[in-house]
Amino acid sequence: MAPGTYGPAVGRGSASRQIATFHVGPLYVGIDVSRVQEVLRDQPLSRVPLAPVAVVGLLNLRGQIVTAIDLRRCFGMPARRDGHVPMHIVIRTAEGAVSLLVDAMDDVVELSEARWSPTPETLDSPTRELVCGVYTLEDRLLLLLDHERAAAVIDHHGERDH
């Protein structure tokens, strides 16, 4: 990983950063726009037997097979209500494209690096483990998702669906 990948844009000549924002349950979360490949509405998924519980299936994206990870499960939240259709944020990682399922998309916001802070110790686990910092906004915190840690669930050999 390159230095400064998850923290502020140090040494990049920029005092701000563009963040794609979205909702996962009660959390307001964002990811650096440069990591986002595309955003899709609900897509058909093929189930993956014996996969970690957060891996909800495989997505065929114009011939490219992409693993779909439900961020609700990564954050330890209950499943979505029946009828609530998630959105897919397809991101680029060191291992290739991964789809992150979120409850709803929001906006792309440009935030000053002066608003960025390291991840607070008061965040509960597993939220703290998936966040690489926060932006303090007027009315709430924006949690900056560590996209590589979220995608690492693919290789996690812990709890699995049966």
Model confidence pLDDT, tens digit, residues 90-140: 999 988 999 999 999 999 999 999 999 999 888 888 899 999 999 999 999
Q: How confident is the model at residue 157 (pLDDT cuts 50, 70, 90)?
A: very low
Identify which has the larger pLDDT, 121 or 154: 121
* Structural contact between residues 17 and 5, judged by C-beta atoms closer than 8 angstroms: no
CA angle, 1 then 112 then 150, to 5°: 35
pTM over 0.75: yes
Fold for the domain defined by 27-155: OB fold (Dihydrolipoamide Acetyltransferase, E2P) (2.40.50)
Helix or strand or coil: residue 160? strand
Please give the pLDDT value at position 124.
Answer: 86
Q: How confident is the model at residue 14 (pLDDT cuts 50, 70, 90)?
A: low
Residue listed under structure tokens 């259709």: 85
Please give the pLDDT value at position 11.
Answer: 41
* Structural contact between residues 36 and 91, judged by C-beta atoms closer than 8 angstroms: yes
- Report DSSP state, residue 52: B
Q: Where are the domains of the chain?
A: 27-155
